[in-house]
Amino acid sequence: MVPTPCSWASYQRYNVPNTMSASGWWRPRPGRLTWPARRPSLRAVLIAILAVGLALSSRGASAILLNGQPTGRATAALASTPAAADAAIRADSNRLTGAVQADPHAVRASAQVALAAGRNDATIATFLKLRWAGRLSAALERYGAMLTVPEAQQLSLAAAGIQHYAAQLHNGLLHDGPGRMIIVSVQAQRLTAYEDGRVVVDTAVTTGRPALATDIGAMRVLRKDAPWTMQSPWPKGSPEWYPDTVVQMVVWFTKNGEGLHDASWQPAATLGPGSQFGPFASHGCIHLPLAAVTTLFDWAPIGTPVVVYPGDGSPLGSQALQQSVDAMGNPVSAVRRRSHQRPDETSARVDHRHAGDRRLWHGGSNANSVRNGHSGRGAVGSHLPCRADQLTLSAASSRRDYCGGRRGRSRGGAHALRC
C-alpha cells in the first residue's frame, strides 16, 4: 500500500495540564568576586585561585566572563601556533605548582570540572560546525588523559593544559561563533541566550521526558506564534491525553513541532536539573518562564541557532553520538521524501521515516485537517496516529505522534499541521 504523505504541523507537544501560576525568571547581574571577611590560610588562597582560574571555562561560572567586555582576542587565540600554546601552558603549569603541592586532590577535581565544561563547549561548537572545534577538543582530551598521573609536575601540566583549551573553546564559541544563539543543556536543564558573547537570557527549563525526549543538535528558530492552543493527538483515556491548553508564546525550532514556550501550570521551583524526569516534563518541547520566552520571542529573529546538547561532560564523541536531528530539525538517520513546496506552507506534504526512533508523521492538508477522528477546516487540528500499513520501516511499535493547534499572532510564515 502506498503510504499517505505527511503534512507539517507547528504544534506543541505537551504535559498533562495543571492550573499553576506563571513562573518568573532570573538573569545574572554583573558583579565582583568577593572574599570572606576572615583571613584565609595560604592553602585556601592557593586552591581558591586555582578554582577561579579553572572556573572561567566552566558553564556554571561563565557569567563572570560573559557579563564583562568581550576579550577581542578569541580569533587570535584560536589561530595561535602549537609552540605558542605549549609555552603558555608551561608557564601556567609553573604557577600551579604550589597549589598542586598543597592539595593535589583539589587541583585534580577542579581540572575535571573544567574538562567537563570544555567538552560541553566542544560539543556545541561541533554541532554548529565551527572549524576549530575538533582541533581544540583533541588538545583538551590530550591533557585530560594526564589527570590520572600521580606525579605532581604532570598534574600541574594537565590542569594548565585543560584550563587553556577549555578557555579557548569557550571564548571561541562566544566570540567566533554566531552573534546570537540559544543553547540548552539537557543535563543542567538550563537555557542560555547569548548576543556577541553576553548573556541575554539565563533560565532553568524543563525538556522532554525520557520517552519523548527533546531532540539533540543544532537547530534554528523557524517561526513564532502568540498565543497557541495545544490540542492532544491522544484520545481521552490515554495517559498522554490533555485538554486544549493555551500557551502565551511559542518559539518553534524544529519542523518536528518542538518549541520554547511558557507553561503556566508548572511552578517555577520545579524547573531545572532533573525536571525532565518529573511530573511536569514535556512531550518534547522546552518549558521556560513566561518572562524568558517573552524576551526570546522579541529578541530572536528567524534563523537564530538553537543548540540542544547533552551537557553531561562526557567526551565530544560520546555527546555527538546523541545528535538526533540536523539543522532543519530533520532526523539524522531518516529516509525522507519531500515535495518542492516550502516547509512553511500550509499545504506542504512530507513523508518522514525514522527507523529505530519514535517519530513518524502523517496526515492531510491544513484545509481539511483531522482531529481525533473528525474532519475540520482552518488552523485548528491534529492528526490521527499513523497506521501500521502506512509505514515502510518497522517502527510502528515505537513511533510517537503529534498534534496541531490554533494559531494566534504568527511570525515566520503560515503554519502547517502535523500529527
266 and 404 co-located in one domain: yes
Nearest to 259 by CA among 323, 204, 205: 205
215 and 110 co-located in one domain: no
404 and 354 co-located in one domain: yes
Alpha-carbon distance 229 to 231, whole Å? 6
Q: How far is CA 327 from CA 192, 221, 254, 358, in A?
A: 19, 10, 8, 19
Alpha-carbon distance 254 to 331, whole Å? 10
Which of 129, 161, 177 corresponds to the end of one domain? 177
203 and 328 co-located in one domain: yes
How many independent structural domains does the chain possess? 2
Q: Which residues face 220 on adjacent strands?
A: 305
pTM: predicted TM-score of the whole model, two decimal places: 0.68
- Look at 51-65, 118-132, 285-299 and tell me which has the smallest mean pLDDT: 51-65
288 and 310 co-located in one domain: yes
What integer pLDDT is reported at residue 44 of this predicted model? 53
Which of 177, 206, 223 corresponds to the end of one domain? 177
Secondary structure (DSSP) of 150-169: --HHHHHHHHHHHHHHHHHH
| 3-class secondary-structure state, position 211 | helix
84 and 191 co-located in one domain: no
83 and 97 co-located in one domain: yes
Q: Which residue has the higher pLDDT, 184 or 236?
A: 184
Q: Which residue has the higher pLDDT, 409 or 124?
A: 124
State the residue range of the domain holding 89.
56-177
Q: Which residue has the higher pLDDT, 51 or 327?
A: 327
Q: Quick check: is 189 in a domain?
A: yes
Give the tens place of pLDDT for each residue, 56-96: 444 433 333 333 334 445 566 676 788 999 999 999 999 99
Give the tens place of pLDDT for each residue, 133-175: 999 999 999 999 999 988 999 999 999 999 999 999 999 999 9
What integer pLDDT is reported at residue 80 of this predicted model? 74
Alpha-carbon distance 82 to 49, whole Å? 26
Q: Quick check: is 104 in a domain?
A: yes
208 and 145 co-located in one domain: no
CATH number of the domain residue 265 falls in: 2.40.440.10
Q: Quick check: is 51 in a domain?
A: no
149 and 298 co-located in one domain: no
Mean pLDDT, rounded, for 201-205: 98
Q: How far is CA 400 from CA 59, 284, 323, 385, in A?
A: 33, 10, 18, 8
Alpha-carbon distance 234 to 385, whole Å? 8
Cell of 362: 502523517
Half-sphere exposure in the Cβ direction for 44 (13 Å, CA): 6
Q: Quick check: is 47 in a domain?
A: no
Q: Quick check: is 37 in a domain?
A: no
157 and 231 co-located in one domain: no
DSSP E strands in 68-222: the ranges are: 180-185, 190-195, 198-204, 217-220
Which of 130, 153, 177 corresponds to the end of one domain? 177
What integer pLDDT is reported at residue 344 of this predicted model? 45
Alpha-carbon distance 76 to 79, whole Å? 5
Q: Which amino acid is at 167?
A: A
- In sequence order, which ranges of 176-306 are alpha helices (DSSP H)? 290-299
Give the tens place of pLDDT for each residue, 12-58: 333 333 322 233 333 334 433 333 344 455 455 455 545 545 444 44
Cβ–Cβ < 8 Å for 155, 54:
no
Half-sphere exposure in the Cβ direction for 309 (13 Å, CA): 29
Q: Quick check: is 43 in a domain?
A: no
Mean pLDDT, rounded, for 257-264: 94
204 and 150 co-located in one domain: no
- Look at 80-84, 222-226, 331-335, 392-396 and tell me which has the smallest mean pLDDT: 392-396
CA 349 to chain centre: 28
Q: How far is CA 291 from CA 22, 312, 313, in A?
A: 9, 27, 29
What integer pLDDT is reported at residue 233 of this predicted model? 77
Cβ–Cβ < 8 Å for 223, 10:
yes
Percent of the chain whose predicted confidence (pLDDT) is above 90: 51
Give the tens place of pLDDT for each residue, 223-254: 999 999 888 877 888 887 888 889 999 999 99
Q: Quick check: is 45 in a domain?
A: no
Nearest to 265 by CA among 283, 250, 279, 249: 279
What integer pLDDT is reported at residue 326 of this predicted model? 83
353 and 274 co-located in one domain: yes
